[in-house]
Structure 1
């Protein structure tokens, strides 16, 4: 039985108590309309890993060598949530993980691997994926939107399957940094909601051996050089009988994995988020601060959950990408 988004997020740890979207984003991917959402409509099966905006794509794993794939029989599917004008598509049942590449007109040498959310059930590849790719490219960073595997699809590694993908993605970008025109010491991760949990796992568990090395690429470090955690879940609670794979270390709050020497981190959240309470971000901020890890946090009074890069410009929380960019420039990440 595949869990729904609220079921997955219900087990999160309680813990202690930018978007000026950019001209390119506004032109290519209009913001999601407000109003009552319509039921998702299936718009196609797509077993081939094609880019969803006709973007350059890279397959993450050698053909036939995706870890733990024995017995996985799902087919990749794309859902349109609401009218096509909403630009709010979702991908389900990823079997061949890909990176969608967004190259900037004026590269600043930074790279960011973007991890859309969706409760580990689907991937919000527009408002938290392509929207981020366009916005980061407008800021000069080379962006890679990761279509990662979802744990309910029967992967042997369970919740470590998406971590396998993000570790491999960081290694791939670092190993091919010269080809992409990026600095191998300025490669970060950015994630939202469940994708934020995955980004936090990449930050704190980068040195966990979650899969057997396949090739020389896997000798490259998976450590991100910076992280952006958007309304991120900090732990996934066990739900007996609900998941088709083990929770692995995902059941441990990621705040407990924080230690000195982790990458500088930017955190954003809305105080009125009813899906992932802001206590998650507050607890991570406190843990990073206690470990002397450079961290900046922005909490907005309003914004709800899942806004990504979709808020109208009059919403204060829409300006978080500007705050992130300013932070990244001051830290030397964006040059």
Structure 2
């Protein structure tokens, strides 16, 4: 049951409410996976699948350059978007496309990429980690650029399903933070024509069979939105039409796949109301949906703290997939 909140709580997010609750002074600090650092060996060794032959759509005259100040695991300057492939020792015939976050400013490929791949390959899934183009790096039609890459990635996975020993009708997408916004856009606006087709793969339906949105940015307007993500995607002064096109909760329809939502109630940058907005819209559309709201975890916890309930979401998601995914 959703608790009523006053205007001040709405502006500051549900963390304000939690501050009034008694907390044990002896509570152990959360053990949250870190996103920063050098490139993991497993990332370096993973096969790369380039999304586009030749230049991607809307390429600028000068290719974007990587940041020299951010850690290597926060990827910028994405001139050649790609997927990295991670195979399980024993496949269950299913695949996951994971879309890391980073406020549409960078792509966090450690805590929301390789950590996710390791966790889900252990459960039998073939995992693809998407490195998508960043809309503020000079591309034409900036609001469409990440979605173009997500559409193309899903189509390539389906077109090569036999090569990867997976069922093209049993592919899920997981998105984190701004990557959660991109995943939500894929499942609600993925059939929009965002680029000219280049090969037979582009004739395939880009919708996945199921989605998981982990602390996603859903709202593109105050008071709940993450302003940096919205500005990077839409620019500093987006029109009402641009906001509408990239507000995924407003675009849920009869074809929106079953969706699994995860959020921490103490998430300040992206308040849990974002997931609740998507939940409400899914319920109004009578689409299958499940939500898990955790007391603690903050923002950007990836696969979750190992010493708190939020760290159990991968297993809960696997159970959700098993309930909704048709057997091969």
TM-score range for the pair, normalised by the shorter chain length: 0.7 to 0.9
Q: Which has the larger radius of gyration?
A: 2
Q: Deviations over 1:161-216 (max 9, x none)?
A: 01000000000000111111111111121100000000000010111001111111
Q: Determine if the alignment matches structure 1 residue 284 to structure 2 residue 278.
A: yes
Offset at 1:259?
A: 1.1
SS at match of 2:136: helix
> Number of aligned pairs?
287
Counterpart residue number, 1:235: 219
Distance, in Å, in 2 between the alignment partners of 1:102 and 1:286 is 34
Counterpart residue number, 2:89: 105
Structure 1 stretches lacking a partner, 5+ long: 1-11, 15-29, 45-49, 82-87
Q: 1:115 to 1:250 in 2, by over 3 A?
A: farther
Within 5 Å, give how 1:1-335 maps onto structure 2.
32=33, 52-62=43-53, 64-77=54-67, 81=71, 89-237=73-221, 251-252=243-244, 253-311=247-305, 313-332=306-325
Distance, in Å, in 2 between the alignment partners of 1:236 and 1:177 is 34
Offset at 1:159?
A: 2.1
Distance, in Å, in 2 between the alignment partners of 1:67 and 1:270 is 36
Distance, in Å, in 2 between the alignment partners of 1:210 and 1:78 is 31
Q: 1:100 to 1:51 in 2, by over 3 A?
A: farther
Offset at 1:77?
A: 4.7
Offset at 1:254?
A: 1.1
Q: 1:334 to 1:114 in 2, by over 3 A?
A: farther
Distance, in Å, in 1 between the alignment partners of 2:32 and 2:274 is 27
Q: CA RMSD in A?
A: 2.8
Offset at 1:118?
A: 0.5
SS at match of 2:276: helix
Q: Do the aligned residues in 1 keep the contact of 2:181 with 2:218 (CA within 8 Å)?
A: yes
What is the TM-score of this pair, normalised by structure 1?
A: 0.79
Q: 1:122 to 1:291 in 2, by over 3 A?
A: same
Structure 2 stretches lacking a partner, 5+ long: 1-10, 14-30, 222-226
What is the TM-score of this pair, normalised by structure 2?
A: 0.80
Q: 1:310 to 1:160 in 2, by over 3 A?
A: same
Q: 1:244 to 1:189 in 2, by over 3 A?
A: closer
Higher relative contact order (CA 8 A, sep 6+): 1
Offset at 1:314?
A: 1.4
